[in-house]
Structure 1
C-alpha cells in the first residue's frame, strides 16, 4: 500500500477509531476534527499512539499511517486488518463452494460470474420482500436494487473458493439499552430476513415439509425461493455453504439468530413447492385492455356470422398497471371478430373492457363488456 493512500479500502476514520477503542485503546479529542488514539501499556514510557483527522484533506494520509501502525502491532496484513475494521459497519454473508470445484485456488470464471449475478438478484429479491412485506411481488422495487448495488462483494479466501458479501448497516452512535427498541438499519432487516428464511429452508429440507417455509412469515417469499432455485440450478455446483456474521454494532431483534446454512440440489423440490404455495395469482378485477392484436384464432369460418357458432378468440398485447407487457386472451362475437380481423390487417389497436384475471401464466378478459377499434 502506498504510504499515503488508504482510499482503496473505503474506510471512514470513525470506523478505525471504533475498532481501536473496542480493543482497549484510549481516545482523546484534541480538536473538533482531530483524535489522538493511544494504547496504554504498563511500564511503557511512550505509548503507541495514532492521530486521526476527520478532515477530508488529510484523511487518507492519516488512515494509511494508522493502518500500517496497527497492522504491525497486531501482526496482520493491511488487507486483513481493513476487512476486520470494515466489518464493524456491515453484516457479512460468507459462502463457500466445495473443494472439488477449486483448481489452484481458483474456479471457472463461469461459476464465479453466475454466482455474483444470482446473489445480486437474491439480495434484491430479499430487499423487495422486506419492503413490501408480502409473500409474492410482481417486480423489484427500485430501492431494493439500489440496496443490492450498495452491497460489497469481498475477496475470495484461499484453500477453498468463497465470497464475502458485505451488507452495509453503518455505526450505531445512539446509546443501546436492553428492552428498548432501536431504529434498525434497512440492511440489517434484510439480512435478518435471509437468516430466518434460510433457517426455515434447512428445517423444511430436513423434514421434507415445504409448509415450514410457508409458515415463516418473516422469511422467504416466492421470489426469494425462485432466486435460490436459480442459484442452485444455474451455477451447477452440488452445494454452497453459507455463514452470516452480524455486526456487533446492532443487537439482533430476535436472539439468537441462526448463522450457518447450506444450499444444495436436494432442496430444489422443497423450494419449488414452497414457491408455488407462496405465489398468489391476481384476483379478478375490472380493467381496460388496450393494445395491438398479436394473434387471432377461430375453429370455424370467420366470415359466417349466422350459422357458424365456433369459438373466436384474439390475443392482445397489453401493458398493465404494473408496467408489465402481458398477452390477454379475449373471446369475441362473430361480428367483433371480423372487426378485429380488419384492425389486425391495418395495424390498428383495440380497446376492450371487462373482467381481467390471471390463471397460472395466462391472462384472460372474461366476461367482456365492450370492444372497439382505435384507429
Structure 2
C-alpha cells in the first residue's frame, strides 16, 4: 500500500480522485436503494464498524466488462480520520487493475487536472543531484517561451508571428512548474485542464479545450522534427504549420536547448485521461530527445518559414504619415502615375508598423486632405509582409472613419 504520509495530508486530493475515477470509467453505483443494500462485503464490514452505522463513503463500480464485480470504497470527506487508509486501499486496487505501481497510480490521480511535460537533462550536467542556478533559470524562462509560442500558433497558425497574443501569454502563465525529479535531473511542467463535463456520445470525442490542443500541437510538432531528421529535409516541419510548429516555436525550442543544455534535453509527455481525443490526436505518452542535430534542423526550418510572405485580409486604420505621387495629385484623369501613401497602423498582432498602399486618384486626394488635417483614415485590402515592409494590395473602401 502506498504510504500517503510520505507527501503529507491531501497528497491525493478527493476531488482529483473523483475526477480520475470518472475519467477511467468508474462511477458511483447508480441506484440509491441498490447502494443501501450494500452487496459489497467490504462495504458491509466498513459500515458495521462505525458507531450508528453512519455512511461516509461511496461505492464505485466500473463500466468495463472485465471489471464486473470489483468495487472501490471511496471516502466522501477528507475530514475522516481514516481518509488516508481508505484512499490507500483504493490506490492498491487501482494498481492491481491497471497493472502499474501504486506510486504511478497516485501520481496519475494527482495529475488528472493537467497534461504534463517532463524534461530531463544529461547526467554530465548534474552534480550531487543539483544543477547550476543559471541553468534552472534558463529552463524556466525558455519553456515558458515555448509554451507561449505554441499557444500563439494554435490561435493563429501562420508561418511566424511578430507579437505574442495576450491569450497565449496568459495560458503560459497559468501553467505550473511542478516538482523536479531525480534521474538525469528533471523538470515538470503542468498544463492545466478544466473538468470534462461534456456528455460523451458513442463514436464522438468531445472537443478538447485550448490547453489540451496546445500540448497536442507540441507533440505533433516534435514528431515533425523527428521526421525531418530522418528524411534529411525540413519539409516535414515547414509543410505542417497548420498542425505543428511555426518559425517562432522552432526558434524558442532551439533557444531553450542552447541556453539550458546544449548537449540535449529529453521531453516526455503524459496526457490526462479526462479528455480522450480522436485516434488521430496524440493523447498517449510520448518521448522525444532534442540535441544538436534536432536544433540544426529546426533552426533551418525557422529561417525558411521566416522567408515566406504572409498575407491576410485586413482593414488598416491610422494617420497618413507619408505621401508620394508620380503624377499631379489634383489631376483625377491621370490614372497612370502611382500614388502611394504610408499609414501608421497599430494592432495586437503587429504592434506599430508603417503600411504602404497605392490609391486611386480620388482616394489619394482624400489622403492628402487627411494628412493636412491630421485625420485618421481607414482602407481595406490584402495585407502582406515582404521582408521588413508591410504592403496593402488591392485597396478598397478608403474612408474617414467615424
Matched ranges for 1:69-218 at <5 A:
69-71=86-88, 74=92, 83-216=107-240, 217-218=242-243
The Cα shift of 1:323 comes to 6.1
Which position in structure 1 is the counterpart of 2:64? none
Once residues 269 and 118 of structure 2 are traced to their aligned partners in structure 1, the CA distance between those partners, rounded to angstroms, is 6
Which position in structure 2 is the counterpart of 1:13? 14
8 A contact 2:165–2:348 mirrored in 1? no
The CA RMSD over aligned residues, in Å, is 4.6
Select 2:249's aligned residue among 219, 224, 247.
224
State the SS of the aligned residue for 2:162.
coil
Select 2:289's aligned residue among 251, 262, 266.
262
State the SS of the aligned residue for 1:223.
helix
Change in CA separation of 1:139 and 1:6 when aligned onto 2, cut-off 3 Å: farther
CA deviation vs aligned residue, 1:157-185 (integer Å, no higher than 9, x gap): 12321122221223334443442241211
State the SS of the aligned residue for 2:274.
coil
The Cα shift of 1:50 comes to 4.7
8 A contact 1:67–1:82 mirrored in 2? no
The Cα shift of 1:134 comes to 2.6
Q: Which runs of 5+ in 1 are unaligned?
A: 41-46, 54-58, 294-315, 330-348, 366-375
Once residues 149 and 279 of structure 2 are traced to their aligned partners in structure 1, the CA distance between those partners, rounded to angstroms, is 22
CA deviation vs aligned residue, 1:23-49 (integer Å, no higher than 9, x gap): 89884689xxx9613589xxxxxx995
CA deviation vs aligned residue, 1:193-251 (integer Å, no higher than 9, x gap): 11111000011012221011112231111111111111122224311111111212222
TM-score scaled to structure 2, two decimals? 0.61
Once residues 80 and 357 of structure 1 are traced to their aligned partners in structure 2, the CA distance between those partners, rounded to angstroms, is 51
8 A contact 1:135–1:222 mirrored in 2? yes
Q: Does 1:66 align with 2:83?
A: yes
State the SS of the aligned residue for 2:15.
helix
Q: How many residues align?
A: 309
Once residues 89 and 287 of structure 1 are traced to their aligned partners in structure 2, the CA distance between those partners, rounded to angstroms, is 42
Q: Which runs of 5+ in 2 are unaligned?
A: 36-54, 62-70, 323-342, 357-373, 393-402
Select 1:37's aligned residue among 58, 72, 83.
58
